Amino acid sequence: MAEPNWKNQTMWTGDNLPIMRGMNSESVDLIYLDPPFNSKANYAAPIGSKAAGAAFKDTWTLSDVDAEWVNLMEAKHPALHRVLLAAMTPSDKSYLAYMAVRLLEMRRLLKPTGSIYLHCDPTMGAYLKLLLDSVFGRKAFRNEIVWSYQRWTGATRHFQRMHDTVWFYAMERAGFNMLKEAYSAKSKHKGARRTVFVGGQIEQSYTGDTSRQKAMRDVWEISYLNSQAKERTGYPTQKPLALLRRIVEASSNPGDMLLDPFAGCATACIAAEQLDRQWVGIDISEKAAELVKRRMDAELGLFYKGAHRTDIPKRTDLGKLAPYNSASNKRNLYGQQEGQCAGCDTHFEARNLEVDHIIARVKGGTDHLENLQLLCGSCNRIKGDRGMEYLQVKLQLKGF
Ligand SMILES: C[S@@+](CC[C@H](N)C(=O)[O-])C[C@H]1O[C@@H](n2cnc3c(N)ncnc32)[C@H](O)[C@@H]1O
Ligand SMILES: [Zn+2]
């Protein structure tokens, strides 16, 4: 397991993909993500609220898909690629490709003892579950947490949509702190059971002791932040602290490192701070970092020493990585590709194949085997620093 290459209490402004690519592997204990939902809405905070100026896009078109991601998945993650093909519309496909490539990074960042919680709503929840199953494995699935709430809505021609879903996955060696909740007021299990005789019949009655608690269920009734709530920042899609505190308590311990790659106003980071965990947040909106600072100042006062970064970090755990065109990489890739060029699919002797970066170094691609493939000299020359899409179009024109 590597040490993080960032300090506790770091908030990054920028796209989380290149930033995560620069973070050390196996350096995070808990990931909570609350990504855009593909809701076809553009969110903006009301003018005058603390979050005014925050806005993020939640509409997707195919042009958003970087063809290189899809190619990377086709080459290296066929199961994940099949999920993308199952998408119903170009917009869904675009959204899923965007999420898939980020989930692959999150898996690399999680320790073998780590856990991940993905927050979504019914729009894309089922598709995201398929992505999670492909990336983390079905065995890692733990719970479908239903966050149930009440809020004002207009008239609808369907049942009121009053829940979000949080998919919870845990790596093989992850710990779990079972949380407790009170028995409901109506529950028969209110307190200890007593056997009494009534009219010659045996009957059960209960002591009425409400201090007894039971293991927490996967349905969480937590009220939605109303417009008067004290913790409300005005940030669109802000989640309640009570929800995040449960997640942090259940799947981490004091001192552990939490990552929220879609931090928003950083509710997860605040919960981590309150519970003595370390944290790092990323958000593409500049407003997010500003709000985090304001929330942390209010929480911690002078003790808040957080860092705000906008750079792409450089991994410090790559010391032992072989040069990209090393003999061992070539041997591995030759076996994986069964001796064929990844461009024209022609079989070659190993000495006639060259190691290529699927995503070019200049675009943030690394020297990991994951990002490497073998191409014949001719395909490699055509592709250059471009994506596989370009090579494939060129090959089609040549009649391949
Ligand atoms: C649903 S909100 C998160 C709300 C957060 N959980 C809270 O309680 O405030 C999603 C966030 O993801 C951010 N976002 C969208 N695309 C991003 C990207 N590529 N990288 C980093 N952040 C992104 C948006 O700016 C937005 O703040
Ligand atoms: Zn070729």
If you measure from the C-alpha of residue 79 to the centroid of ligand 1, how many angstroms do you get, rounded to a whole number? 27
- Domain at 108, CATH number: 3.40.50.150
Q: Which of residues 248, 279, 309 is at a domain's end?
A: 309
Mutational test site, ligand 1, from 10, 39, 56, max ligand atoms within 8 Å of CB: 56
CB 292 within 8 A of CB 13: no
C-alpha distance from residue 99 to each of 35, 103, 110, 117 (Å): 8, 6, 16, 14
Q: Are 152 and 73 part of one and the same domain?
A: yes
For residue 129, pLDDT beyond 80: yes
Q: Give the structural domain span for 272.
A: 10-179+216-309
**Global pTM?**
0.81
Give, using CA atoms, the residue closest to atom 22 of ligand 1. Answer: 283
Residue type at position 192? A
Task: Indicate if ligand 1 lies below 6 Å from the C-beta of 105.
Answer: no
pLDDT of residue 282: 97
CB 360 within 8 A of CB 330: no
Please state the domain count of the chain.
Answer: 2
In a domain, 290, yes or no: yes
Task: Indicate if ligand 1 lies below 6 Å from the C-beta of 6.
Answer: no
In a domain, 386, yes or no: yes
Task: Indicate if ligand 1 lies below 6 Å from the C-beta of 287.
Answer: no
Q: Are 69 and 174 part of one and the same domain?
A: yes
Q: What residues does the ion ligand 2 have nearby, CB within 5 Å?
A: 341, 343-344, 376, 379
In a domain, 233, yes or no: yes
Q: Are 365 and 231 part of one and the same domain?
A: no
For residue 170, pLDDT beyond 90: yes
Q: Are 279 and 346 part of one and the same domain?
A: no
Q: Are 276 and 372 part of one and the same domain?
A: no
Q: Which of residues 309, 338, 355 is at a domain's end?
A: 309
Q: Are 305 and 334 part of one and the same domain?
A: no
Ligand nearest to the CA of 398: 2
Closest C-alpha to 183, from 218, 140, 215: 215
CB 342 within 8 A of CB 375: yes
| DSSP 3-state of 310 | coil
If you measure from the C-alpha of residue 262 to the centroid of ligand 2, how many angstroms do you get, rounded to a whole number? 39
If you measure from the C-alpha of residue 56 to the centroid of ligand 1, how many angstroms do you get, rounded to a whole number? 7
Residues 207 and 194: their CA atoms lie apart, in Å, by 7
Per-residue pLDDT band for 162 (boundaries 50, 70, 90) equals: very high
Q: Two tokens at 346?
A: 């022609």
Residues 6+ apart with CB under 8 A from 148: 162, 163, 219, 220, 221, 222
Proportion of the chain above pLDDT 90, given as a percent: 52
For residue 169, pLDDT beyond 90: yes
Q: Two tokens at 172?
A: 């093989």
Q: Are 282 and 372 part of one and the same domain?
A: no
